[in-house]
Amino acid sequence: MADRQAGARLVGGDADGWRLDRWLAQAVPTGRGAAAELVRTGAVTVNGTAPRRPAAPVRRGDRVSWRPVPPSAADPGADAIAPAVQLVYADAELAVVDKPAGLTVHPGAGRPRGTLADGLRQLGGGWSTLAGADRPGIVHRLDRTVSGLLVVARTEAAHRHLAAQLQDRSLGREYFGLVHGVVREDRGRIEAPIGRDPRRTLRMAVVAGGREAITEFEVLERLAGHTALRLRLLTGRTHQLRVHLAYIRRPLVGDPLYDPGPERRLGRPMLHAAQLHLIHPDGRPLAFRSPLPSDLGEAVGERGGIPGEWPGAAPAGRCG
């Protein structure tokens, strides 16, 4: 199935021993999760054989070939459960979505339907399938319990363009978070590797040998026993902000996994992807912002803050 989306490359000496999904993410380029999905679906071969394990090692001189995953047949029952999608921006190449808390981005264990991916499919018009047939348009993700902005790709070319920006850290993502305790530094940087928590498998943790993870923070307002932060992702590890904030003993208010206090009853971390900036495939810089959702605004107000005065609290849409 050789078409403009297919490809093949030889593994260089600098990548000898790498995981296949890691190497493929840089070769395509695409996200690490999308690369793993290509491997699992048999769309990748190494020296003519299709290994189904994303962790399979590659060696210098290996010839790795890949092809796009064809879209799956439409599910006749999908439209009835596809959620409405709130578009902030859309054109023929990409779209920006404002995702509510509680909406899963793509199908996974325990949530096969009713995801953002289903909503995008219902919008029609075609979406990139580089991340897999069940993840139309998906370039990056937010945790189900986190609200805010996501960019999605209509074309494979746009998908590659956006994935490259994720890798070189030029696709900017800023979050607003409400944490326990008072953060003394006005701004700072957390560099701590993240991997699976060896004691609680549903959680991630800062662990030796984990993947590089970097978060920058800036204090927006110090409240009674809490701090409102602007958070910037320089890498995109699973639960990264939640793990890093728990690591410095300033967990997000309401986080059911990482907040040890009684406010876990809120059911979700007080975290919102509020600002997003990127370069469009045609070269235009684009920037977007999303207002704080009502539950986060109320949580801030209850602690003496004034969320309406914060940057990013204006109506959703393009900015800058």
In degrees and rounded to multiples of 5, residue 110 shows phi and psi of 85, -10
Rounded CA gap, 78 and 24, in Å?
31
Q: Is residue 143 among the annotated active site residues?
A: yes
Let me know: does 138 contact 107? Beta carbons within 8 Å: no
* Per annotation, catalytic residue among 134, 143, 255, 259: 143
In the numeric block, which tokens belong to residue 66?
A: 């890949």
What's the N-to-C CA distance of the chain in angstroms?
Answer: 43
CA atoms within 13 A on the CB side of 277: 11
Let me know: does 310 contact 292? Beta carbons within 8 Å: yes
Classify residue 206 by burial, with Cβ atoms within 10 Å: 0-12, 13-18, 19+.
middle
Rounded CA gap, 165 and 279, in Å?
8
In the numeric block, which tokens belong to residue 241?
A: 């902000």
Rounded CA gap, 197 and 24, in Å?
26
The Cα-based distances of 246 to 181, 229, 269 in angstroms read 11, 14, 12
Let me know: does 130 contact 140? Beta carbons within 8 Å: no
Rounded CA gap, 299 and 301, in Å?
6
The conformation of residue 55, written as its DSSP 8-state character, comes to: T
Rounded CA gap, 104 and 71, in Å?
20
Let me know: does 65 contact 45? Beta carbons within 8 Å: yes
Cross-strand partners of 19: 57
Q: Which residues are catalytically annotated?
A: 143
